Amino acid sequence: MRLCFICLATLCFMACSTQYNINGDSSVSTLDGRMLYLKAVSQNNSMESIDSCEVVHGKFTFMGTMDSICMGELTMDNISVMPVVIENGEVTIFINDMEQRVVGGALNNKLYQFLGARNQLENEIMELSSQEARAILSGYNPVELHSKLQEKMDKVSAKIDRLEANFVIDNADNILGRSFFMELCNRTPGPMLTPQIKQILKKAPAKFRHLPFVESYVRAAEANHRFIRQTTQ
């Protein structure tokens, strides 16, 4: 499952205290005896380990207290395994050969419902690519075939763009929308107001648009657009 949330210290959702209790269940035998680390953003905006545990007979547990709800990640050997929202309540991580998912906690449930929906659409695009390869090997005209399948791929890609934009808009008041907005921003080589980001800024509440990091990104993107126009005239 593709995901790489960019976590910033300013994105932590303020709360009096966050008591997290994360239980893990793995059916991947090679994980037994390995150390897993729960990481969260630090004050200097880097990801740092806040807890660790060993996988024993497919089970592992993280417990502790945080000053705020924030995006975190489960890692092994400094490699990100999956994202997890560090929030109040009982949370369970499931890891098997097919998927990694988190159940429990309002924000984690929202996050993985979104990831599941996006993953289905991404699989549709992969299947269309596989269909194209198989058809070409069967003797179909590659130019005509590509034109036909590309139209379908573009429609699925548009669905993904809408799904992602709506996820940010619907969660503009919590850590999910803010973190994923930063992921969208970091997909481009530099700050740019893509159609997807413009749609988010158009529909997101004013409170979201006036967040310091959002305003900073918009200013940088507008400056880039002005520079590009000047250099191409």
Whole-model pTM: value is: 0.84
In a domain, 220, yes or no: yes
With tokens 């098997």, the residue in question is 96
Whether residue 167 is found in the same domain as residue 81: no
In a domain, 48, yes or no: yes
Using CA atoms, how far apart are residues 11 and 70, in angstroms rounded to an integer?
7
In a domain, 191, yes or no: yes
pLDDT (mean) for 83-97: 92
In a domain, 1, yes or no: no
Last residue in a domain, options 104, 132, 155:
104
Confidence of residue 6 (pLDDT cuts 50, 70, 90): very low
pLDDT (mean) for 96-112: 93
Number of domains into which the chain is organized: 2
Instruction: List CB contacts of 8: < 8 A, sequence separation 6 or more.
Output: 41, 45, 182, 213
Query: What are the structure tokens assigned to 113, written together?
Result: 């419902």
In a domain, 132, yes or no: yes
- The string of pLDDT tens digits covering residues 129-150 is 888 788 777 777 777 777 888 8
Whether residue 129 is found in the same domain as residue 225: yes
Whether residue 126 is found in the same domain as residue 193: yes
pLDDT at 223: 94
In a domain, 15, yes or no: yes
Q: Name the residue range of residue 119's domain.
A: 112-232
Residue 4: how many CB atoms within 10 A of its CB?
11
In a domain, 143, yes or no: yes
Whether residue 71 is found in the same domain as residue 119: no
- Cβ atoms of 103 and 27 closer than 8 Å: no
Whether residue 87 is found in the same domain as residue 162: no
Last residue in a domain, options 49, 83, 104:
104
pLDDT at 138: 76
Whether residue 54 is found in the same domain as residue 127: no
Last residue in a domain, options 104, 132, 167:
104
**b (16+ CB within 10 A) / e for 56-81:** eeeebebeeebebbbbbbbbeeeeeb
- The string of pLDDT tens digits covering residues 11-40 is 444 445 678 999 999 999 999 999 999 998
In a domain, 150, yes or no: yes
Whether residue 51 is found in the same domain as residue 152: no
Whether residue 212 is found in the same domain as residue 126: yes
Using CA atoms, how far apart are residues 47 and 42, in angstroms rounded to an integer?
6
- Cβ atoms of 39 and 75 closer than 8 Å: yes
Whether residue 64 is found in the same domain as residue 141: no
